[in-house]
Structures are given as structure tokens and as C-alpha cells.
Amino acid sequence: MSDVHMLTGAYALDALEGRERTAVEAHCAGCPTCFRECEEFRATAARLGMASTTVPPAALKRRVLDIVRATPRPPPWRLRMSGLGRRLRHRTAVRLLSRTLH
Ligand SMILES: [Zn+2]
């Protein structure tokens, strides 16, 4: 089974079943950080769902891609250390969403 910390996004989107779903639920019951992360993923997914009902302006795609290109990426070996990669990806996703929706 995958590291439970890598499954919070999929769990928040109801994309897990069986043992993986049960493992994330059990972990989140005792880990406020992961519980909060799941709640944030759900809130972000809900906002994205609302945003997809409108046609985005052409400039939005360019702006999002510019932000993605400008966002520094640590080397892969560093992402594998502890939960740094997960936290960075989460922060980047929240930053991108915040910039594009405001
Ligand atoms: Zn945790």
C-alpha cells in the first residue's frame, strides 16, 4: 500500500476504496495535519468545480502557465525526503488556485 500521506488528495476526491480508504480514515482520525489537509483538498475541489462552470478568459491560461513556469521546483531527491514534496505541492496548488481565482 502507498504511504498514507500520499493518498490524502485521492481520499478527499472520493477516489479511494477498500484498504486504502480505511487506512486514510484511520490515520486522519489521529493526525490533525492530514485531517486538515483533506478538508483543504475538498474545499479546493469544490471551488474548482464551481470555477469550471464558466469559460475562463484566454489570458487566464497564459497567466497560470506563467506561474507554473516561474514556480521553483526542488530536485526529485529532495522531494522524497520526509513530507517536504507533499507540502510543497500542496502549497503550490493552493497558491495557484488563489492567484487564478482572485
Ligand atoms: Zn498525517
pLDDT, mean of each 10-residue run, the chain (102 residues) = 85 92 95 95 88 78 90 73 64 71 62
Instruction: State in Å: Cα 8 to ligand 1 middle.
Output: 9
pLDDT at 77: 67
Report the Cα–Cα distance between both ends of the chain, in Å, rounded: 38
> CA–CA separation, 36 vs 41, rounded Å?
9
- Is residue 12 within 8 A of residue 42, CB to CB? The reply is yes
Instruction: State in Å: Cα 54 to ligand 1 middle.
Output: 35
What are the phi and psi torsion angles at 30 (to 5°)?
A: -115, 5
Residue corresponding to grid cell 497560470: 64
What are the phi and psi torsion angles at 75 (to 5°)?
A: -65, 150
pLDDT at 56: 76
- The pTM of the full predicted model, rounded to 2 decimals, is 0.50
Instruction: State in Å: Cα 26 to ligand 1 middle.
Output: 10
